[in-house]
Amino acid sequence: MKKYKKMIWILMTIVVLVILGNRWAFGIWNPLSNPDRIECFGRRYYISNLEPINMSESEKPEYAISTWVWAGKNLYMSEPKGNIIPVLIYLKLSNGQYQIYALSGSN
């Protein structure tokens, strides 16, 4: 019985940490919903369109932002980062759909 309590305690701790991490990084509590904002490159990006857009193979952004792999969210940029901060970043949803996030005016 103690073994089950310990396993439940560990699972609950993991769930709480995922939810808190999602709230910190994306501004929402639910890790399964699309975020209202994204913190990336030391800047804050806000959702720019309410509806996700479909992009063809030629339109879709090419450059992955590897810092968000841990969160299970795939972010992309249209241009390589270089010395400038990208104005738009794209959250890949599914089947060629992307949600666009725009750089906010202040940090």
87 in the same domain as 50? yes
On whether the pTM is more than 0.85, the answer is no
Which residues lie closer than 8 Å to 38 by C-beta, 6 or more apart?
Answer: 25, 26, 44, 45, 75, 89, 91, 101
Q: How many domains does the chain have?
A: 2
* pLDDT for the residue numbered 69: 56
68 in the same domain as 54? yes
46 in the same domain as 92? yes
pLDDT > 90? residue 86: no
More confident residue, 48 or 49: 48
54 in the same domain as 102? yes
86 in the same domain as 48? yes
pLDDT > 60? residue 11: yes
Question: In whole angstroms, what is the distance from residue 51 CA to residue 43 CA?
Answer: 23
* pLDDT for the residue numbered 107: 44
45 in the same domain as 11? no
65 in the same domain as 19? no
Which residues constitute the domain of residue 7?
A: 1-32
Q: Work out the average pLDDT over 78-103.
A: 84
